[in-house]
Amino acid sequence: MKKTFEMDISAEVQQALKTGQPLVALESTIISHGMPYPQNLETAHAVENIIREESAVPATIAILNGRIKIGLSQHELEQFAKHTTPLKVSRRDLPLVLSQKQSGGTTVAATMICAKLAGIAVFVTGGIGGVHRESEKTMDISADLMELAQTNVAVVCAGIKSILDIPRTLEYLETQGVPVIGYKTEEFPAFYTPASGSMVQARLDTPEEIARCMKIKWELGLDGGIVIGNPVQQEDAMDDAIIQLAISAAIKDAAEKEIEGKDVTPFLLERINQLTEGESLKSNIALVCNNASLGAKIAVAYQARL
């Protein structure tokens, strides 16, 4: 059956697919909703360069004018970074955004879907979505978690965003059969800080071990992703007491403003950045770069096993 949607794969990514070069997918909501301009564009360039330095090929994924884009040109990255009203595109949004020829940044869930379509097994992000605090009242659970339960892509992150309920998120992932690996750590990272107080399923200390786990999982026919928690470097981490105060204040502000759904996380990240006088943004940028380095190493190790 002929596909109705259209997907554009950049020449660099096409060449990598053809020649068997390691590939790393990158989301675009971190550009459109996670950081202000120009830091978003600077970070996008830095992350892509880090991946290339590790002998892998970056593939930033977005929706532009109703087309899935796998690998953005420099012009497209800049255009996207400066766009003031892009949509935030998750699993449920993809059909409508594509059919209406709209543009938007892809979340973890949507990026995983597009990465799998393009044949990319490793994906680097900042932090994944999760179970929101007071979810027993709101039923607010990120679609990222359900995507991890069914889409075969390994996700390198600095943990679950610490604005969320980390223990409940890990419990949800366990229920869905998603392996949660700590890279050189037994404790799951908490985005802005290296530790959350919650333990990972297993600690693995090399990209090769992680790549082997990925390959065996999918060879067994166990569909779904893998979460690799990569702690922010200590020198780039936030002080735990300071960040927790900022998170609590930001959550209170969001409740007072009655902000709900997909608008919650972008609001909280921006408000936390304001409350920490820009320190949380610096930490965010550093952890994404750190994840890019590890993700590229995993992609190289995984490609060597194919």
What's the confidence (pLDDT) of residue 125? 97
Q: Report, as residue numbers or ranges, the catalytic residues.
A: 27, 161
Query: Domain with 37 in it: what CATH number?
Result: 3.40.1790.10
Using alpha carbons, select from 64, 63, 58 the residue that is nearest to residue 24.
58
Question: Does the residue 151 lie in any domain?
Answer: yes
Question: Does the residue 51 lie in any domain?
Answer: yes
Question: Does the residue 42 lie in any domain?
Answer: yes
Summarised one tens digit per residue, pLDDT across range 121-171 is: 999 999 999 897 666 665 678 899 999 999 999 999 999 877 789 999 999
Question: Does the residue 1 lie in any domain?
Answer: no
In the structure, what pLDDT confidence band is assigned to residue 257 with cuts at 50, 70 and 90?
confident
- Report the percent of the chain where pLDDT is more than 70: 96
DSSP 8-class letter at 88: E
Say whether 13 sits in a helix, a strand or coil. Answer: helix
**Is residue 272's pLDDT more than 80?**
yes
- Report the percent of the chain where pLDDT is more than 90: 75
- How many structural domains comprise the chain? 1
The burial of 99, by beta-carbon neighbours within 10 Å (0-12 exposed, 13-18 middle, 19 or more buried), is given as exposed
DSSP 8-class letter at 160: B
Question: Does the residue 127 lie in any domain?
Answer: yes
**Mean pLDDT across the stretch 86-109?**
94
Boundaries of domain holding 238: 6-304
Question: Does the residue 11 lie in any domain?
Answer: yes
Question: Does the residue 133 lie in any domain?
Answer: yes
Q: Quick one: tokens of 173?
A: 């992932």
